[in-house]
Amino acid sequence: MHATSLRGNNGPRYRHTEIDHGPYQTLRVEKLTPVIGAEISDVDLSQPLSEQQQQEIHRALAENQVIFFRDQTISKEQHLAFGQLFGELHLHPAAPHVEGLPALMKIHADEHSSRANGEGWHTDVSCDEIPPMGSILHIHTCPPHGGDTLFASMYAAYDSLSDRMKGYLEGLKALHDGEPVYRGTYKNFGVADKPVYPHAEHPVVRTHPVTGRKALYVNRGFTSHLIGVPRDESAGVLRYLFEHIENPLFQCRFRWRKNSIAFWDNRCVQHRAMWDYWPNTRSGHRVTVAGDKPY
């Protein structure tokens, strides 16, 4: 495997990885499902990683779309440093962060919360002109039951569309709008609203810059409407795509334990966090890696 840092035509630096397909030498990789997800072991993220370990983690993410690590006791600084192995860090346009560490987002819900992060299917911050490449979530406080996160492969969702639907979607763009998602959302954290929130047009089908595979790139959380078609047609097509994306055949489900980490590729994965644990607490931090402009 070979990894290099590149600057895209319209975006910040990200890590481009050429994938090889031999056996892993420094990690153990166990698939969760044939379609998406793998658990990674035999690595301690609190310790400096060798170049080969870094390359094999890159490869595992590219091959499995979301990867999971158990029993990782890492500091805030180690969490940030792990994210920086994959590129520059992305700053969330709305969510609260740890004081003095703007790239470390707070993830927290308890008995006093009116909402929890990520309750509906979405791709992180797809409303940005240059959306994140990936998100790395470290949960250190878990409820006794519940709080799982579901992940869905947008490769599988695209591949299973009919040829007629693929032809219809080819070249289409959609508007992703952060305004209805973020305004007032973090009031319970004491975060004041910004005058405006980002919005952007992105292709409905994007090509992954590492694997070259096509993935659906619309989501319930941010996608407002298709560009250049009547609104009723847009609503009908998006309704179909949203329901299609949520097919359990495209999914894996991760059960959190204390000090687990999930790292998902926002370019080809959607996720949904289950808030089924009230009034218990689920808490952690998320680091997000900057991406490249969808094409």
Q: Where in the sequence numbering do the catalytic residues fall?
A: 122, 124, 271, 286
Asked if residue 161 lies in contact with residue 247, where contact means CB atoms within 8 angstroms, the answer is no
- The token duo for 17 is 């990885």
CA dist list (Å): 221 to 122, 224, 238, 277: 5, 9, 12, 22
Q: Smallest Cα–Cα separation from 294: which of 197, 198, 217, 210?
A: 217
- The token duo for 45 is 């993220």
Q: Which residues contact 23 (CB under 8 A, 6 or more apart)?
A: none
CA dist list (Å): 41 to 16, 81, 137: 23, 19, 17
Q: Smallest Cα–Cα separation from 128: which of 76, 160, 92?
A: 92
Asked if residue 271 lies in contact with residue 148, where contact means CB atoms within 8 angstroms, the answer is no
DSSP letters for 144-183: SS---EEEEEHHHHHHTS-HHHHHHHTT-EEEEESHHHHT
Q: How far apart are CA 73 and CA 258, in angstroms?
A: 9
**Radius of gyration over every alpha carbon of the chain, rounded to an integer in angstroms:** 18
8-state DSSP, 192: P
Cα Dmax for the chain: 54
